[in-house]
Amino acid sequence: MGTKATISVAPPAPLLPDNPLYEQYFDGLRTGRIRVRECTECGTRQWPPRELCGACQGSSFVPRDVPTTGEVYTYTVMYRAFHPWFKDQLPYGVAVVEVEGGIRIIGRYVGDDPEGLACGQRMEAVFDDLGEDGGSIAWRPA
């Protein structure tokens, strides 16, 4: 058995998912917008994106921007890093923020005191660039 080498370089942030259904969403984040899909048949807005409309089974969609502010629907506080990149961020919050009826967007909480998070708290989106190509979202108090 050989000697195991160790690397002291910080690990990269987790990459974006490679899924074409999310392309418009991540394109929106890179330009400071939250973009979901709207069914061209019935107008239902859909998040997360799926192949078919949950209301009418339509398969044609157009991108629609939704508000970049909303209220905390639920949240959690992380005390263990699921990925090494987050190790120095602990503890940190993760919030699910409802920006319009039924559209709930998850993101890191970047305000002070993650243990003070509360349901119903007003939030605004912060568009940062965790990944190499940017396109990540975080929340801070509005």
- Is residue 121 within 8 Å of residue 71, measured between CB atoms? yes
Please state the three-class secondary structure of 2-38 as a single string: CCCCCCCCCCCCCCCCCCHHHHHHHHHHHCCCEEEEE
* Least gap, CB of 96 to Zn ion (angstroms): 24
Residue with tokens 């602990």: 90
CA distance 122 to 116: 13
Residues 28-47 that bind Zn ion (CB under 5 A): 39, 41-42, 44
56 sits near Zn ion (criterion: CB under 5 A): yes
- In the sheet with 61-66, reading across from the earlier edge strand, the strands are 45-46, 34-39, 61-66
Would you say 95 or 103 has its CB closer to Zn ion? 103
* Least gap, CB of 44 to Zn ion (angstroms): 5
The rounded radius of gyration (Å) of the Cα atoms in the chain is: 18
* Least gap, CB of 52 to Zn ion (angstroms): 8
Runs of H (alpha helix) within the chain: 23-30
Would you say 40 or 89 has its CB closer to Zn ion? 40
Size of the site for Zn ion (CB under 5 A): 8
Among 16, 29, 34, 53, binds Zn ion (CB under 5 A): 53
55 sits near Zn ion (criterion: CB under 5 A): yes
* Least gap, CB of 54 to Zn ion (angstroms): 8
81-86-87-88 Cα dihedral, nearest 10 degrees: -150
Would you say 29 or 39 has its CB closer to Zn ion? 39
Would you say 39 or 125 has its CB closer to Zn ion? 39
Contact set with Zn ion (CB under 5 A): 39, 41-42, 44, 53, 55-56, 58
